[in-house]
Amino acid sequence: MIPFVDLKAQYLSIKDEIDSAVFKALESTQFVLGSEVVALEEEFAHYCNADYGIAVNTGTSALHLALLAVGIGAGDEVITVPFTFVATTAAICYTGATPVFVDIDPVSYTIDVTQIEAAITERTKAILPVHLYGQAADMEPILDIARRHGLVVIEDAAQAHRAEYKGRRVGSLGDIGCFSFYPGKNLGACGEGGMVVTNNPEYERKMRMLRDWGQEQKYHHLLKGYNYRMDGIQGAILRVKLRHLDQWTEARRTHATQYDKLLTSSEVTTPTVMPYSYHVYHVYAVRSPRRDWLQQILHRQGIQTGIHYPIPVHLQPAYAELGYQSGDFPHAERAAREVLSLPMYAELSLNQLEVVSAVVRENLPCMNWQKVG
């Protein structure tokens, strides 16, 4: 069996450090927020080249608080993409605002910046690009559009820890950046967790209150807030893992390069790294018109894969009230039919990479099919 993600291998590689941090957190009895979370906020914000970090319980909460901090609410519209995890859309809906979708670029899988301005209305308040699969969206034109139209830019960086756009870390490019520490992420907790980063002190103050019942001091509630606080143990664990993130990122990038070479003689289309991007490969997503068949073949060979994502958000029953239909976003819909995520994690061995690639090549040899992009 070659797993899609091997969290046990990661844990065993740093077991002594993790165990020590957990025991220290337990002895401190600071189980909610506390000194470890404060230290993580400072360290992660510095890592992202941002002034402030606000630790929360999930990446979804990070998105929700970011939207609330900039004043998004009922009657507002937020532009984003339908090809993403559902949390991006859900967080917009939590505020009472309406998600407005534009299609993705078929090569990068991130928002097609040429379609953004056509989606802007008098109700548009923000643009929420998603740095999908570990690759940054094309932020320069997004920020230019936002400036000209007086819009806020909130980055969904849940899959892009350490990713860069033109040499700058994602999360600090827009007004606010939102990260997830779900266990399978490039930087993952041993449970749930998230982080918001910003350079704006007013946003920082508001989000810090909102995540803790709207209180600035105990039992003094200035805002109607939420219980979005991070656990102290998760803060301690993430501080340990953050020290290894650069090394793990380089391992992922090396694996991606090896996959690229090993799959050149196959039918599948391998990921394209955009010229502005430092890709961190949260997933290594190939694509093929015969995706489902290939996934079955790999499964029978003991190779786990994933599909990120099989149904675009605009076609999910939960969001039918938004009024979109099949065919509205053809690039997102085609990607949903064709993408397949191969095993990708820092601890993958060269032999495992070769086994996965050999199965793909043997079953989908290159037959001069026209590749996407």
Which tokens belong to 223? 């805002």
Predicted local distance difference test score (pLDDT) of residue 366: 77
Q: Which residues are CB-neighbours of 342 under 8 A, at least 6 positions away?
A: 259, 284, 285, 286, 303, 305, 356, 360
Answer for the pair 252, 344: CB distance below 8 angstroms, yes or no. yes
Q: Kindly give the interhelix angle for 232-242 and 35-47, rounded to the nearest 10 degrees.
A: 40
Predicted local distance difference test score (pLDDT) of residue 369: 45
User: What amino acid positions are annotated as catalytic residues?
Assistant: 185
- pTM (2 d.p.): 0.95
Q: For each of the chain's 373 residues, which pLDDT tens digit applies?
A: 999 999 999 999 999 999 999 999 999 999 999 999 999 999 999 999 999 999 999 999 999 999 999 999 999 999 999 999 999 999 999 999 999 999 999 999 999 999 999 999 999 999 999 999 999 999 999 999 999 999 999 999 999 999 999 999 999 999 999 999 999 999 999 999 999 999 999 999 999 999 999 998 899 999 999 999 999 999 999 999 999 999 999 999 999 999 999 999 999 999 999 999 999 999 999 999 999 999 999 999 999 999 999 999 999 999 999 999 999 999 999 999 999 999 999 999 999 999 999 999 999 887 644 444 4
Q: In what order do the strands lie in the sheet with 124-127?
A: 52-56, 194-198, 176-180, 152-156, 124-127, 77-80, 98-101
Place of tokens 């559009």: 145
As a whole number of angstroms, the distance between CA 364 and CA 372 comes to 15
Q: Kindly give the interhelix angle for 59-69 and 201-210, rounded to the nearest 10 degrees.
A: 120
The Cα-based distances of 345 to 7, 163, 188, 295 in angstroms read 9, 16, 12, 19
